[in-house]
Structure 1
Amino acid sequence: MWTTLAAAGPKAIAEALTAEEFDRLHVPTSIETFVAQQVAEGRSVILTGNAGDGKTHILRRIRPALEAAGAQVLSDATALMRGDDPTPVLDAWRGALRAGRPFCMAANEYPLFQLRTVKEGFEQLAEVERQCRHRLAYGTNSADEDARSDVIVVDLSLRNPLAANFFSRLVDTLLNDSALRRLINVDRDTIAARNHALLSIPSVRERLAFLMARLLSVGHRATVRELWILAARLIFGTSGQRDYQRSDWYSETLFAADARFDLTVAMRDVDPARCSHPQWDVVLESRGEPIRSGWAATPPAPAPHSLLDEENFAALKRRFYFEHRDGHHAFALADPDAQDFSKLLSGGSNGQLASQLITAINAAYCPVRFSGSEDHLYLWNGHRFHEQPSRSFLAACRIAIDRFSVDVPRLPSRLTGCFEYQPDHIALSVPSLANNPKLRIDFPLYRTLKRLGRGLPRKLIPERDIHKLDAFLERLGKADDSGVRTIWSVHLENLDVIQISLSADGKRYDGVKRYA
């Protein structure tokens, strides 16, 4: 089973597994207990998310408990639908409700969207729609986080399997598989036995989990399916050869790109071989004294040449990271913005963060500092909408910094204890405004804002980030409740800022001030 999984493609499905194989792949988590408890209390549960997130797996695993509680279980909403017509699913749900039974269903995002369009006469679907619009919570607890009827939506796309605890349990499940252990005991002189032994070392596992956590913090995610395939490859490699080819070392397999899997491409972002550390790189190249001892397993063989070629140095650098006591230094000089962002996501405080973010957003439209530019966010608009890119901007409104809040997301209270949620963004918002408009700041946007604070020109801002900032300012403008008393105008070519003060009735100019 494991060798087949190591060779699997991205379309491998859980339905193809036998009952025995299904049990061997099961990673116990709190979500099974949560769903079973909700159903036992009479609630219907909708599991949604992306293909490969584990919806079918979870329902299949706890189906006996659900049925024992009287629930009607639908493992795949798509299979029951007629094209885009959700009527068969709705009929099944209505039938369960008429019989006084909870309804349990797994549905990918699109089938669930089709169901959400049908709200009239179905109280539960209106609640499904509300919960789907508020999948995460920010700030202090509120009553809006509670379920308002007897239905709970669990979005498994919020459960990132790259989270350290889940990934560690998954690898443990693989390493402790009895059939795999028997295979290794038969012949310990294989690449599988070698990889199994090294991955069983606690320090190696800790550093592997650290890489996954770094991927998560900068915005990458993976499906459970991808992780199982990757984990199997860490043991058996990718070539299928029973020898010691370097390409099948776990430390090389981890960074072997496969265009079919987004995860293997993303791994390049956390490859120790791509992170330079001049002092340790010199020591590794020369096999200096600091690395002649301190290895968790067998030290590398002596260098065959005075200088290593690129591939051999990369392999040594990766092994150093995983297996040497000082390997964590490989990332000591990693992107400081990524390190700062990771700290923010873990709850690290930064009292100046709101001010820094607002100053950076202003700089995206107006690089000239002027009175009030660090204390307010100005709602900039392109002076000419047909002019692309805009060379001038106007702001007729501004919002004081003390009205802003910066929050790390969490699961709403209705999902407490469901699964481990690891945030991948922070949110800048104005709670006092209608609908509390939010700017979702993921790592790419955070990096752009930090660079703006260091003087990044507007022309170098990624288009994706410009669109997000424009949309946020537009939402703030629609919700802003302050009147227009001053107009600010900036021209990006001559870097002039003009501040125009209006009279109380807005009918005349009271003053003009120029900043350059």
Structure 2
Amino acid sequence: METVITRTKLTSDLTALFKRGEVYADSWSTEVRRQLNVEDPLVDLVAKRLDDGWHVVITGNAGDGKSHLVVTAGELARNQRVEVEADDQRPKPLTSEHRLFIRDAATLDDEAILAWTAAAQSAGAQLVITLNEGPLTSLAARQGQGFYEEVRRVAHARARGEDESDPEGVLILNLAGRQLVYADFVAQALARLLPAVVPCDTCHDDQRCPRTAGRDLLSESEEAVSRLTFLLRLLGQSGMRLTARELWTFLSDLFFGWTCPTGSRDVDKLPGWWWGRVFERSSAIGRAIGREFDPIRAADANVDSRLWLGDASGLGIPERTPLLTPRNLHGAHPADALGAFASAKRAWFFLTPSIDAEKMIDRQSQIPKYAQLIEEADSVGQRAVQRMILMINGHRLKINESRQLYLSRHHRLTAISRPSLIAASETAKADDLQVMLPYHAEAHGISDAGFRPTRVELSWKGGRGAVFAVDYQSWLQLKKPRSIYSDREQEALDTALDLFIGQAPVSPGFDPEIVAVDHSTGVTTRMTVRGGSNPMFEVAPS
């Protein structure tokens, strides 16, 4: 009985926590932390390094879960912990048996952190610290050559995609490159969130409330959880970083963000069902998902007509799913009819086991195609180099060539109009280029840690020159037809390419071939320049 009471009270505490929106906080009690803890493969790594006596530095952005990771791992490790509070500006006596924990470097002055660090190093104590990029940079600058400068060097090298090892006796983890949607976070978070969902304040104990009825449908559908996870991973592939805090907020808002209006009809409750709230435009994540994919844009004559007529039999939707009949609403309330159809189509997408959801998404979104470039860069780097060369040559010169990059430049002939002519007189071989994947080496050999690159960086071999980063947006821009009108995105892409190409390690060749494309007329001209005392041009328009 005592166990049941404790569990009931904890569920009640979690419900209150989610209602308040305190979905991810460093101040959670030990019981709440354990109840909401999502299993993290990095915890065992950190705990082992702590037991081995290593220093541990966790860096990243706000909301990445730095403190939660260290605290959870610390509960598994052995040692006497000394936690530095905000008002502990002067170090206390330490011994080799102590573990010095600085939870958040931003709460202390740099001088205090450096003093505590020096005290720990002098005593042979462990140092465990979580900090953002700002404090790390200022600490490295103030300390000079030493511990924090080395940490910064390693973290930045991995952020560029280099395979940099940890310094001896120090574990460095930079969570800024982590994508939690790849670490099974969503399914585990839902498993902990859903038991705390209760009817809204309007419905009181009515289990037909969209919160609780929707909770039951999501709990019983592996397909729904998988498809929701896939949509969030889609955003991760496009470069949108979803931190632990943002994911908790989004998932809890699917249920706790809705309250039924007083005296509402069934049609008024439609916006409260989680399958519609996934695409809620008031949420940044919802807007981003809707831009890439929404089932209501996936036309299917058989499915659409049956949903419109209110005949969902045979479509595979669970019978207790609350679907209305849009046709019956259309005469008097056209907007309600469209809302009812949208809700039904989204419920069909999430809850019907038999549909090929990934194929449906692939027809609407370009992100899966972009993800192929990243996968190729990871497995066969030189093939990805050639694919990027092909895109750049095609975008600038309409040349279908992947083995050599034409060193075209965007010629700014006037200040008031965009020039249409782009020309190239030199080329660089594909073998002169390489690709890098930022944060690729941050996982420390743990395949499911969630470190997945979101962009590919093209660079010249030998480490010289600029780097051309191809993220999802620049990839889309490279695929677009060129415009001779002023276009901010195209201008930014051209500038980046100019800087990159301008640092190519090549020298002008003898008798160069000049290729020029006039993007206003589409005419391509090839000119061969012969040197000597009587230079000659051979022009061959094509």
Normalising by structure 1, we get a TM-score of: 0.81
Q: Which residue of 1 aligns with 2:231?
A: 211
Check whether the contact 2:177–2:439 (CA below 8 A) recurs between aligned residues: no
The 1:468–1:132 alpha-carbon spacing in structure 2 relative to 1, beyond 3 Å, is: farther
- TM superposition shift of 1:59: 2.5
8 Å Cα contact 1:271/1:318 also seen in 2: no
- The reply on whether 1:230 has 2:250 as its aligned counterpart is yes
Partner of 1:448: 477
Question: Which residue, 508, 524, 527 being the options, matches 1:499?
Answer: 527
Matched, 1:294 2:311: no
Aligned equivalents of 2:340, 2:529: Cα separation in 1 = 66
Which of 362, 371, 396 aligns to 2:393? It is 362
| Structure 2 residues without counterparts, runs of 5 or longer | 1-12, 81-96
Residue type of the partner of 1:425? Answer: R
Q: Structure 1 residues 304, 468: CA separation in 2 closer, same or farther (over 3 Å shift)?
A: closer
Q: Offset at 1:67?
A: 4.2
CA shift, 1:310, in A, is 2.3
1:128-160: CA deviations, max 9, x gaps?
22223222475xxx8x52124443331212122
Read off the aligned partner of 2:170 and give its amino acid letter: V
Given that 1:218 and 1:442 are in contact with CA atoms closer than 8 Å, whether structure 2 keeps it comes out as yes
Q: Is the 8 A contact 2:214 2:273 kept in 1?
A: yes
In 2 relative to 1, CA 409–297 (structure 1 residues): closer, same or farther, beyond 3 Å?
A: farther
In structure 1, what is the equivalent of residue 430 of structure 2?
401
**Deviation at residue 93 of structure 1 after TM alignment:** 1.4
What pairs up with 1:28-39 in 2 under 5 angstroms? 28-39=39-50
- Report the secondary structure of 1:458's partner residue: coil
1:422 is paired with a residue of what secondary structure? Answer: coil
Q: Which ranges of structure 1 fall in alignment gaps of 5 or more residues?
A: none
2:443–2:449 CA contact under 8 A, matched in 1: no
* 8 A Cα contact 1:49 1:156, kept in partner: yes
> What is the Cα deviation at residue 383 of structure 1?
2.9
The RMSD of aligned alpha carbons is: 3.8
Supply the AA of the counterpart residue of 2:229: A
Instruction: Summarize the alignment of residues 229-378 of structure 1 with structure 2, pairs less than 5 Å apart.
Output: 229-239=249-259, 245-258=269-282, 262-279=284-301, 282-287=304-309, 291-301=313-323, 303-305=325-327, 309-329=337-357, 331=360, 334-335=363-364, 337-346=366-375, 354-367=385-398, 369=399, 374-378=402-406
Contact 1:192–1:235 under 8 Å retained in 2: yes
Q: Deviations over 1:331-366 (max 9, x none)?
A: 256236333223444559799654443232123333
Matched with 1:78 is 106
- 3-state SS, counterpart of residue 175 of structure 1: helix
* Corresponding residue for residue 63 of structure 1: 74
Identify if the C-alpha distance between structure 1 residues 43 and 428 changes in structure 2 by more than 3 Å, giving closer, same or farther: same
CA distance in 2 between counterparts of 1:111 and 1:487 reads: 52
Q: CA deviation at 1:47?
A: 1.4
Deviations 1:238-264 (A, max 9, x none): 226698722221112222233xx5323
Give me the whole-angstrom Cα distance separating, in 2, the residues matched to 1:48 and 1:318.
39
1:427 to 443, 446, 457: 457
Deviation at 1:322, TM superposition (A): 0.7
Tell me the equivalent position of 2:179: 160
Residues 205-244 of structure 1: CA distance to partner in whole angstroms, max 9, x if unpaired? 1111121122222222222112212222334442266987
Change (3 A) 1:480 1:166: same
Equivalent residue for 1:488, pick from 514, 524, 527: 514
| Alpha-carbon distance change, 21 to 343 in structure 1, aligned in 2, over 3 angstroms | same
Query: Cα–Cα, structure 1 residues 164 and 12, in superposed 2: closer, same or farther, change >3 Å?
Result: closer
- Specify the SS of the correspondent of 2:228: helix
Among 106, 112, 115, the alignment partner of 2:130 is: 106
Give the aligned residue type for 1:154. Answer: L
Structure 1 residue 406 displacement after superposition: 4.8
Question: In 1, are the aligned partners of 2:275 and 2:347 still within 8 Å (CA)?
Answer: yes
- Aligned to 2:468, the other structure's residue is in SS state strand
Q: 1:356 to 1:419 in 2, by over 3 A?
A: closer
**Count of residue pairs the alignment pairs up:** 492
Closer/same/farther in 2, CA of residues 52 and 302 from structure 1, 3 Å limit:
closer
Q: Deviations over 1:245-301 (max 9, x none)?
A: 22221112222233xx53233232345245332435533444487753422452554
Q: Provide the rounded CA distance (Å) in 2 between the counterparts of 1:112 and 1:173.
A: 34
Q: Matched residues in 1 for 2:301 and 2:215: separation? A: 31
Q: Is the 8 A contact 1:498 1:514 kept in 2?
A: yes
Q: Measured at CA, do residues 385 and 31 of structure 1 come closer, stay the same or move farther in structure 2, by a change above 3 Å?
A: farther
Quick one: higher RCO (CA 8 Å, sep 6+), 1 or 2?
Answer: 1
Contact (CA 8 Å) 2:309, 2:325: kept in 1 or not? yes
- 1:297–1:223 CA distance, 2 compared to 1 (3 A): farther
CA displacement at 1:72 relative to structure 2: 0.9
1:429–1:438 Cα contact (<8 Å) kept: yes
**What does residue 470 of structure 1 align with?**
495
Percent sequence identity over matched residues?
21
Q: Bigger radius of gyration, 1 or 2?
A: 2
Does the CA-based 8 Å contact 1:191-1:236 persist in structure 2?
A: no
Asked whether the equivalents of residues 146 and 413 of structure 1 are also in contact (C-alpha less than 8 Å), the reply is no
- Structure 1 range deviating more: 193-202 or 378-387: 378-387
CA distance in 2, matches of 1:359, 1:89: 50
Q: Relative to 1, partners in 2 of residues 1:5 and 1:447: Cα closer, same or farther, differing over 3 Å?
A: farther
Q: Does 2:51 align with 1:51?
A: no
Structure 2-normalised TM-score?
0.78
Specify the SS of the correspondent of 1:334.
Answer: helix
CA contact (8 A) 2:292 2:365 kept: no
Q: For residue 128 of structure 2, give the secondary structure of its aligned residue in structure 1.
A: strand
**Relative to 1, partners in 2 of residues 1:75 and 1:502: Cα closer, same or farther, differing over 3 Å?**
farther
For the structure 1 residues 382 and 237, does the alpha-carbon distance in structure 2 shift closer, same or farther, using more than 3 Å as the test? Answer: closer
